[in-house]
């Protein structure tokens, strides 16, 4: 997929895995994509490693007027998955067949949105049981592409994750 000019929505919150937000954001920017970051409020939030992110919009301001949805991992998905507006946007992206990319604990948000039944995915190993309980087939692979859904396990898999996105 040529991402030049594409609108990428990144949804995250405090205690995200720094590299899982920064690396994709920088890769998308380098290829000419337009990045919008959504957070719980307009206040900055911080990664586990201290990276400061100033959100462009809040969860309440979310729309599905984007081409790609990116859900970084870390501890942030435990917060993000409780927001009904986020879950609504995930469901809209999925029903419209738009690309959803989630890494590490990011698939927890997909589980809470109720879109994993019958899907094949990967995640951080601690999320595997929850994926299976949600009706997904879990595979311990660096990256899994299943229709409009791309999932990955951890920071070490980021290059495979981004390749799958750009090859989509």
The question of whether 48 is a catalytic residue gets the answer: no
Q: Which of 104, 113, 115, 127 is catalytic?
A: 104
Per-position DSSP letters for 9-47, written without gaps between them: EEE--TTB-HHHHHHHHHHHHHTTPEEEEEESSSS-EEB
The question of whether 104 is a catalytic residue gets the answer: yes
**Dihedral sign for Cα atoms in the order 94, 21, 164, 9:** positive
Do 109 and 102 contact (CB within 8 A), yes or no? Answer: yes
Q: Which of 25, 81, 105, 119 is catalytic?
A: 105
Active site positions, annotated = 104-105
């Amino acid at each position: 997929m040529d991402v030049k000019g594409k609108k990428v929505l990144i949804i995250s919150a405090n205690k995200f895995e720094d590299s899982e937000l920064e690396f994709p954001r920088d890769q998308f920017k380098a290829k000419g994509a337009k990045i919008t970051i959504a957070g719980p409020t307009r206040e900055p939030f911080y990664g586990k490693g201290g990276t400061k992110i100033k959100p462009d919009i809040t969860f309440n301001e979310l729309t599905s007027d984007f081409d790609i949805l990116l859900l970084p991992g870390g501890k942030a998905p435990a917060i993000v998955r409780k927001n009904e507006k986020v879950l609504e946007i995930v469901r809209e992206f999925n029903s419209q067949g738009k690309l959803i990319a989630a890494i590490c604990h990011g698939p927890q948000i997909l589980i809470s949105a109720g879109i994993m039944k019958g899907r094949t995915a990967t995640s951080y190993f601690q999320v595997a049981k929850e994926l299976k309980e949600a009706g997904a087939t879990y595979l311990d692979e660096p990256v899994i592409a299943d229709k409009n859904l791309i999932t990955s396990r951890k920071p070490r898999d980021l290059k495979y994750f981004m390749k799958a996105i750009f090859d989509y």
